[in-house]
A and B are shown apart, each in its own frame.
Chain A
């Protein structure tokens, strides 16, 4: 299935090659969760991320239980502070 990806800041570096700035998509097996996608992209797991699916917040607990479906948009944003 295809999952659309939206990232912020330097997280765009983890998008598949050829992606636009902070926009891309990834092909992954049926039944994948947000954690599966993040691991597939090689993102470090020890950071806080603002994670959303189709515009809804996904909590840390839900990242390994929420089953994505074809065409879902997964958002991964860095929680920085603005000075």
Chain B
């Protein structure tokens, strides 16, 4: 406890499944979710395997605190080798699916092989069926979820599925659960599609048991109270993560027009205040906020599009509420493509959820295509007659839908920006690391973010480290390596518990540790839990090294390293990765080529 101590392993080639005991030695060393799935992945497959081939493993992983009464306990992770990057992929999602998988009795669901025809997985506790998905293939995420609940006559069934984007191998296709929560990054949905697996429908009645209920209830009560009392929690609930857009605009760290600018004139049309302000016709974008399973923050946004807006006029199927703008979607459909039409941004978000795509990668890929277009490398004939210029809201909405349906130029956009810019002769327009596109922070203004991007094991990512406080105090490369390394290790632990990163608005590592120790029949010391984080990070690094990555991949585009920021507080500055990276390697116990030394691996128990 509070692990279920069971792994469900499904072989899609043979259409067989078996339950096996969880390796508890690994559970103690890697906790659960991200960490434990990484260990199973490393032990179970060749890191050099084709990510879209049958030898890739796809793991849905819960944490020991998933499904418990701890705040934000709805998290699960999808771990695999990512097709967008060729690196390890670890995409984390909320909603209710993760808790339901845990309630069905499993810590991990491991999918191997490839079905010879479309299938979906139906799980009710220990009843596991691999069923035909012929009638679902080619349909949207939203339709799939609706239909599966009808087929199994159970509205409480929780569904994680892919859309056409995942079926057809869009490199940044995601897995969507509960209609608008997603394991979003690195193309985990394309891996699911490559296995001919349309969906996982799960219903669980087993529940979870904690080791020391009295202590657990007490520590949960205390940690929830601490979280409730923070301004950061209230900010997330009332403003949503999009509150960040005003900060980044003021700071000059808001990537605009494919990182050619760092500030955007239109933020006041798409920020949290704009989401709440009535238009001339009275329409208000934001309806309410929403929480995932067990969450006491509720940062999610529920919005609707103005029925008179060009994107949905005469399209009643979109006259309903759905997931609204969060910071990364606001950035990826807004500044980075130069668009400030809030309804167009919201529609693009609908397309991501309905068809199953990562908004960050889609938006930055569209931005790269716009730069190609504006530089003459793409013509209007190639872009289906659409003027692919920065600021064109119609280009955003049309291309979001075309990419989701894999029609016309949308097929090209499905390549992701690295492959797209290489194909059309301008690889310098790719804004990302290891093939994955940047989130909404420019690392000329946020130097520690640059180091985090360059060293993130899943390619460019803002969620695997936390140097925001340091970056807002100083805009040099000095003093960033240590907080970057330390926060990467902390994040590795948090991502392995089953809880949400946003609880760090109030909690430090001790709050996670006391909840884990009360819930599990194992006690981690402070040193042990810290070592777990470092161990997880290094194991991910070893996966990537075995997959062929080298020090040369720990870098940033020249635009960030050589072209000074044109405005804002970092005007004239470039990202000082050359200052930060050697110090980072040294702190990690890696050699000058970025390879963990034998001493480091030995200290962490990695063979």
Contact surface of A with B, Cβ cutoff 8 Å: 6, 8-10, 21-22, 44, 47-48, 50, 52, 55-57, 59-60, 75, 77-83
Contact of B569 among A21, A44, A55, A79 (CB under 8 A): A55
Given A56-B569, A83-B501, 8 other A-B residues pairs in contact with their CB atoms under 8 A: A8-B243, A9-B272, A10-B239, A52-B250, A57-B472, A60-B473, A78-B232, A79-B247
Smallest Cβ distance from B511 to chain A, in angstroms? 17
> Are A44's CB and B231's CB within 8 A?
yes
Contact status of A80 and B241, CB under 8 A, knowing A50-B247, A52-B569, A56-B569: yes
Q: Are B243 and A80 in contact (CB under 8 A)?
A: yes
B250–A10 CB distance below 8 A: no
A22 touches B244 (CB 8 A): no
B247 in contact with A80 (CB, 8 Å): yes
Cβ-defined partner of B475 (8 Å) among A21, A57, A83: A57
Secondary structure of the B contact surface, majority rule: helix
B318 within 8 A of A: no
Q: Please tell me if the beta carbons of A81 and B466 are within 8 angstroms of each other in the complex.
A: yes
Whether B328 lies near A50 (C-beta < 8 A) is: no
Bitwise, B148-173 to A at CB < 8 A (1) or not (0) is 00000000000000000000000000
| Interface contact tally, CB-CB below 8 A | 95
Which residues of chain B are near A81, meaning CB under 8 Å? 241, 244, 462-463, 466, 468, 501-502
Q: State A1–B233 Cα separation when bound (angstroms).
A: 35
Which residues in B have their C-beta under 8 angstroms from that of A8?
243, 246-247, 250
CA distance A72 to B236 in the complex (A): 30
Which chain A positions have C-beta within 8 A of B100?
none
| CB pair B472 A82 closer than 8 Å | no
- With A82-B326, A82-B440 in contact, is A77–B501 under 8 Å at CB? no
Q: Does B40 have its Cβ within 8 Å of any Cβ on chain A?
A: no
A52 to B193, CA, bound (A): 48
Whether B238 is near chain A, meaning CB under 8 Å from some CB there, is yes
A-B contact pairs, 15 of them (CB 8 A): A8-B246, A9-B239, A9-B243, A10-B234, A10-B239, A47-B231, A52-B251, A52-B569, A77-B246, A77-B247, A77-B251, A80-B244, A82-B326, A82-B327, A83-B299
CB distance from A34 to the nearest CB of B (A): 14
**Closest chain B residue, CB of each to CB of A44:** B231
Nearest CB in chain B: distance from A47 CB, A: 6
Let me know if B568 and A82 touch, CB within 8 A. no
Closest residue on chain B to residue A55 by CB atoms? B569
> A10 to chain B: which residues have CB within 8 Å?
231, 234-235, 238-239, 243
Taken together as a complex, chains A and B put the C-alpha atoms of A22 and B472 apart, in Å, by: 20
Docked CA distance A21–B466 (Å): 29
Instruction: Return chain B residues, CB-CB under 8 Å to A56.
Output: 569
A44 to B251, CA, bound (A): 21
Check if B331 is an interface residue, CB within 8 A of chain A. yes
Decide yes or no whether B439 CB sits under 8 A from chain A.
yes
Q: B552 in the interface, Cβ–Cβ < 8 Å?
A: no
